Homo-oligomer: A and B are copies of this chain.
Amino acid sequence: MNFSSKLLENAVAEFAKLPGVGQKTALRLVLHLLNQEKTEVEKFSSSISKLRNEIQFCSICQNISDQAICEICASPKRDHTTICVVEDTRDVMAVQNTNQYNGVYHVLGGLISPMDGIGPSDLEVDSLVERIRENGVKEVIFALSATMEGDTTLFYLHKRLKDYNIIISTIARGIAFGGELEYVDEITLGRSIATRVPYESSLSR
């Protein structure tokens, strides 16, 4: 592209580094910001630099937090004997939004992915084992993506945790609510037949 200004070119280049944002979208976003009030743009830019500089990670569950210990880990109302293990903070939000879970979380910060050079030591695995060893945890629920990386991580963590006296479970996989059978892939359908549940217990969900 033929920019008439170096400042514009820089800003577009920075925006185009974001995932899923190409040059044309970046230009559109930058021109939008250019049309806003100076104070608005200042708010935008400072919210980002503040976030990066001041954010903390909960020392217990490693979730993003404003304090040293996050609200969930600090809450006496939650069941601290059940830990839901997730990949990142988005998954914490997803599980929280279901209103079906009252335990605490543990954020791994990623999934094992040899292709991307991410091994167990890059994730918050040791801190999870530590929590289980020390704090009378009764159940660990894995809520990981049903991908190759998710399954690898699940397999590894199960091996690390199976000798502790805890229940290890993983979220159910199957047909989504509202899903039509003819569009479900064979693996999901096959597994959901193999792991069928009694009708009565399916109602109680």
Contact = CB atoms under 8 A, between A and B. Distances in A.
A167 to B, nearest CB: 26
Contact of A14 (B47, B52, B65): B47
A116 to B, nearest CB: 13
B19 A66 contact: no
B34 A44 contact: no
Interface stretch (A2-10, A152-160, A175-183): A2-10
Nearest to A66: B5
Instruction: Determine chain A's interface SS by DSSP, over half rule.
Output: helix
B1 A71 contact: no
A141 interface: no
Contacts of A5: 55, 64-66
Interface string A26-70: 011111111010100111111111111111001000011110001
A52 B44 CA distance: 11
Interface residues of A, number: 59
A93 interface: yes
Contacts of A71: 4
> Which of A19, A48, A49 has the most chain B CB within a 10 Å cutoff?
A48
16 contacts: A3-B93, A4-B58, A4-B70, A4-B93, A7-B50, A7-B55, A8-B89, A11-B48, A17-B44, A20-B25, A30-B51, A33-B48, A34-B55, A38-B52, A41-B52, A45-B48
